[in-house]
Amino acid sequence: MLKTILICGASRGIGKSLVSVLAKNNNLRLWILTRNTTSLKQEYRNHDRVTVIPFDLEHNAKAQLQPFLPDIGPIHALINNSGHLEKGPFKALSMAEYRRCMQVNFFGPVELIQTLYAHLLEGKAHVVNISTMGAYQGSVKFPELTAYAASKAALTNFTEVFAEEQKDCGIRMNCLCLGAVNTEMLRAAFPGYEAATSAEEMAEFIADFTLKSGRIYNGKILPVSSSTP
């Protein structure tokens, strides 16, 4: 039987590579949630195991997904890969920028999980939340990322509490705190900086972790970075 995986945020960067890695696996049925359906629909037009759904974490999740829920069925894994980064000195960041980070990085994924809850339960899903080393307790911090890092920290902490609360229901949830990866997000935030890890390498790791580690790990916050400490 095919396993059903949902990936939120896939038009570029790590998410785009994730779809490319997972689409090669003949045992998987993929549902791609993205704001930019055109290019992904074109790319996967001949792929009958990949469905692209228009979805924006800044809009109501239930209203957007309702038409597709009957066809989605049991979900075996959900990867919350989307992220929005606002960079600026604390005094310059507006409350609108803080709210946007909280919406895309925390409230949106929470609402998505609530909307899909029955399907996650049915599939005994492994939910993988993608966070950042900046939200990992005790890590080296970078200035001007208060809105981004704090909103990802909310998702990180949510993971631990959700996993504890739901541990007897069968849904597993873990959070990967990524170090720097060469993507548009990194280039925009840190111009000129070259990360040691490519989007493709990180996508391979996340795909493997999602498929294999849900039974071993639950409620874990895992740093995924080659930098020390």
Residues that bind ligand NAP (CB under 6 A): 9-15, 34-36, 56-58, 81-84, 104, 130, 132, 178, 180-181, 183-186, 195
Q: How far is the CB of 117 from ligand NAP (least distance, A)?
A: 19
Q: Which is nearer to ligand NAP, 58 or 208 (CB)?
A: 58
Q: How far is the CB of 197 from ligand NAP (least distance, A)?
A: 8
Q: How many whole angstroms separate alpha carbon 81 and alpha carbon 17?
A: 11
Residue ranges of the alpha helices (H) in the chain? 13-23, 37-43, 61-65, 69-72, 95-102, 108-123, 146-165, 184-189, 199-212
Q: Strand 172-178: give its sheet, edge to edge.
A: 50-54, 28-34, 3-8, 77-80, 126-132, 172-178, 221-224
Q: How far is the CB of 45 from ligand NAP (least distance, A)?
A: 17
Q: Which is nearer to ligand NAP, 74 or 139 (CB)?
A: 139
Coil, strand, or helix at residue 179? coil
Q: Which is nearer to ligand NAP, 14 or 65 (CB)?
A: 14
Q: How far is the CB of 83 from ligand NAP (least distance, A)?
A: 2
Q: How far is the CB of 221 from ligand NAP (least distance, A)?
A: 13
Q: Which is nearer to ligand NAP, 122 or 200 (CB)?
A: 200
Q: Which residue is nearest to ligand NAP (CB)?
A: 13
Q: How many whole angstroms separate alpha carbon 203 and alpha carbon 12?
A: 12
Q: Which is nearer to ligand NAP, 167 or 193 (CB)?
A: 193
- Cβ-count burial 193-229 (b if 16+ within 10 Å, e if not): eebebebbbbbebbbebbbebbeebbbebbbbbeeee
